[in-house]
C-alpha cells in the first residue's frame, strides 16, 4: 500500500523530467552517395552554398605562383589608395636619390683664328682641367639655354657716343628670343635699375629702353693748345678766366677726374641675376667705353661674386676704347697703374667676350653677334674630386684638341653651398 502510494506521488514528477530531456533522432541516411570510382586519392567532395557536392581536382588545390594583377573587389577604408607602380625596369630609379654635391658646370665658346664660331666639336676632343688635374666629363651638350640678361647701359659717355648708343637700342630686342628675359640698369654717378626682369619681346622692355636714353656728357677740354693759353706774370695767372683750372691763379694743372661707376653697376646687375631660376644662362651685357672710376665696389670683389654665381660678362665696347690703336693700348695693363678699360678684364675672368664697335651700324650688329655667341655655347659638366664646400678658388682650363682655335671659358670658380642641393627628390604621389 505504501509502495503504491509512493509511486503515485512520484509519477507526475518523473513524467515532467522525461519531457524536459529531448531524445535526439537517429542519423538520416544520405540520399546522394558517390558512386564507385568517383572518389580517387587526392580528390574529394566539397559542399557548395546550396548543399550540393562538387568534385575537386589536384590542380584546384595548388597555391597560385603569381600575385593577382588586379586589386581585390573590396578594400578596407584604412588601406588608403594603391601605391604608385612604376613601369617595368624603372623601379630602382624611382627609389634613388641623387645628390650632386660636387658637380661643376662649365660653358665655353670655340673660335677660329678669324674670330668665327666653330661648330661640330665632339666630346672626345674636349679636355677639362681643374687645378691642373684632368677631370672626367659627366655631361656634354650643345643645346641652347634660355637667357637671363641684365643689360647695363653707360650714361657717362660723351654726347656723340651717347647718341650712337641711343639710336642703336631699337635693334636690341631683335637679338633675343621670346623665352629670354631681360632687366635694364643704367649708371652715371651710381647704378639705377630701370626695370626688373621681363620678357625680351615685351612692350615693357621696349618702353624701358626708350626712357633709358640720355644726353651724355660734354668732353673735357684738352690741357693744351690755344684754348689752354694763360696770361702769367711772375709765374702767377692774373686772369682766372683763362687759367687751366678756373679760379686757380697758379699754373699747376689739376684737371677734374670723371666718375664712371662701372664696378657698382655690374655688381648691382649681378645681385638681380642671383634671383633667377635654375636652368637659365646668367649674362650681364654691358654697353660702355669700359672706363671705371669712383665705384665703391672693388674689381676683384665683383669678379669673385660673379664666379660664385655663374655669371658671365659680355659687352659692346664703344667710344675711343673701340678704336684699334687706343683699344690695343687699353688691353695692355701696366703693373701699379689704373685700368682705363676694365670691360675686357671682366669678360676674360668670367668666360665672356666683347665686341668693339665705333659706328652705330656696328653697335647694332654687335647685339646679334653677342647673342648668337651666348646661345651657341658648348656646355660640359664633371664631378670634382676636391672637397666641394671649402670656399677655395678652383682654376679651370678647357682645351680642344684642334689647332689654331681659341677657347673662351671661365678661368675658375668658387664652390658654394647652393650647388650641393639635391637635383631630384623622390616624393610620394598624392
Give the pLDDT of residue 278: 79
Q: Is pLDDT above 50 for 82?
A: no
- 218 alpha-carbon distance from chain centroid: 42
CB atoms within 10 A of CB 340: 16
pLDDT tens per residue, range 378-419: 999 888 887 766 778 999 999 999 999 999 999 999 887 666
pLDDT digits (tens, 9 = 90+) for 42-64: 555 555 555 555 555 555 455 55
Alpha-carbon distance values, 229 to 236, 251, 252, 328 (Å) = 13, 11, 13, 32
CA distance 272 to 298: 18
Closest by CA position to 185, among listed 312, 285, 314, 295: 285
Residues 6+ apart with CB under 8 A from 154: 165, 186, 187, 260, 262, 265, 286, 287, 288, 289, 318
- Which pTM does this prediction carry? 0.68
Beta-carbon count within 10 A of 384 CB = 18
- Characterize the bridge pairing of strands 147-154 and 181-187: parallel
| Helices and strands in the chain, H and E counts | 9, 20
Average pLDDT for 290-302: 92
pLDDT of residue 258: 79
Which region among 26-35, 119-128, 386-395 has the lowest average model confidence (pLDDT)? 26-35
Are the beta carbons of 205 and 177 closer than 8 angstroms? no
Q: CA of 345: how far to CAs of 140, 153, 191, 291, 313, in Å? A: 28, 18, 20, 12, 10
Confidence at 233, pLDDT banded by 50, 70, 90: low
> What is the DSSP track for 53-99?
EEEE-GGGGSPPSS--SS--SS--GGG-SPPP-PPTT-HHHHT--EE
Please tell me the distance from the alpha carbon of residue 188 to that of residue 192, in angstroms, as a whole number: 9
pLDDT recorded at residue 169: 93
CA–CA gap between residue 309 and residue 382 (Å, rounded): 17
Q: Mind listing the pLDDT tens digit for each residue in 203-214?
A: 999 999 999 999
Nearby residues of 279 by Cβ (< 8 Å), 6 or more positions away: 145, 146
DSSP for residue 401: S
Is the pLDDT at 271 greater than 80? The verdict is yes
Structure-block grid coordinates of residue 183: 632687366
Per-residue pLDDT at 25 = 63
Paired with 378 in beta bridges are 108
DSSP class of 204: H
Q: Which of 61-65, 96-100, 119-123, 426-430 has the highest mean pLDDT?
A: 119-123
pLDDT, mean over the chain: 76
Q: What is the CATH number of domain 145-214+256-375?
A: 3.40.50.410
Q: Is 111 helix (H, G, I), strand (E, B) or coil?
A: strand
Reading the block at residue 377, the C-alpha cell is 655655347
> Which alpha helices (DSSP H) does 286-323 contain, by range?
299-308
Amino acid at each position: 500500500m505504501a509502495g503504491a502510494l509512493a509511486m503515485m506521488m512520484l509519477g507526475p514528477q518523473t513524467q515532467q523530467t522525461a519531457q524536459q530531456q529531448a531524445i535526439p533522432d537517429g542519423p538520416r541516411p544520405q540520399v546522394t552517395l558517390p558512386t564507385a570510382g568517383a572518389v580517387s586519392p587526392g580528390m574529394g567532395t566539397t559542399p557548395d552554398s546550396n548543399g550540393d557536392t562538387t568534385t575537386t581536382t589536384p590542380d584546384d588545390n595548388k597555391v597560385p605562383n603569381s600575385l593577382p594583377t588586379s586589386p581585390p573587389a573590396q578594400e578596407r577604408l584604412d588601406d588608403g589608395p594603391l601605391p604608385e607602380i612604376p613601369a617595368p625596369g624603372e623601379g630602382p630609379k624611382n627609389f634613388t636619390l641623387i645628390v650632386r654635391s660636387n658637380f661643376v658646370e662649365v660653358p665655353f665658346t670655340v673660335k677660329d683664328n678669324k674670330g668665327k664660331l666653330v661648330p661640330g666639336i665632339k666630346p672626345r676632343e674636349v679636355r677639362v682641367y681643374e687645378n691642373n688635374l684632368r677631370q672626367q666629363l659627366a655631361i656634354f651638350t650643345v643645346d641652347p639655354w634660355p637667357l637671363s640678361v641684365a643689360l647695363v647701359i653707360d650714361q657717362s659717355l660723351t654726347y656723340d657716343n651717347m647718341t650712337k648708343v641711343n639710336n642703336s637700342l631699337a635693334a636690341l630686342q631683335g637679338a633675343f628670343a621670346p623665352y629670354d628675359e631681360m632687366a635694364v640698369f643704367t649708371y652715371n654717378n651710381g647704378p639705377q635699375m630701370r626695370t626688373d626682369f621681363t620678357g625680351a619681346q615685351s612692350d615693357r622692355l621696349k618702353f624701358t629702353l626708350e626712357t633709358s636714353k640720355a644726353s651724355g656728357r660734354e668732353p673735357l677740354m684738352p690741357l693744351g693748345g690755344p684754348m689752354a693759353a694763360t696770361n702769367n706774370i711772375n709765374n702767377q695767372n692774373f686772369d682766372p678766366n683763362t687759367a687751366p683750372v678756373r679760379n686757380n691763379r697758379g699754373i699747376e694743372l689739376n684737371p677734374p677726374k670723371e666718375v664712371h661707376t662701372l664696378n657698382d653697376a655690374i655688381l648691382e646687375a649681378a645681385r638681380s641675376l642671383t634671383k633667377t631660376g635654375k636652368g637659365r644662362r646668367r649674362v650681364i651685357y654691358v654697353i660702355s667705353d669700359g672706363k671705371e672710376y669712383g665705384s665703391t665696389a672693388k674689381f676683384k670683389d665683383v669678379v669673385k661674386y660673379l664666379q660664385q654665381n655663374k655669371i658671365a660678362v659680355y659687352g659692346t665696347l664703344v667710344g675711343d676704347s673701340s678704336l684699334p690703336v687706343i683699344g690695343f693700348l687699353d688691353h695692355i695693363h701696366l703693373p701699379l697703374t689704373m685700368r682705363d678699360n676694365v670691360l675686357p678684364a671682366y669678360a676674360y675672368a668670367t668666360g665672356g667676350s666683347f665686341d668693339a664697335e665705333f659706328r652705330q651700324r656696328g653697335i647694332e650688329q654687335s647685339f646679334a653677334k653677342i647673342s648668337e655667341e651666348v646661345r651657341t655655347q658648348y656646355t660640359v659638366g664633371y664631378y670634382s674630386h676636391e672637397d666641394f664646400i671649402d670656399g677655395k678658388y678652383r682654376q679651370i682650363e678647357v682645351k680642344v684638341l684642334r689647332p689654331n682655335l681659341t677657347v673662351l671659358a671661365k678661368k675658375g670658380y668658387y664652390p658654394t653651398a647652393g650647388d650641393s642641393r639635391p637635383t631630384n627628390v623622390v616624393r610620394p604621389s598624392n
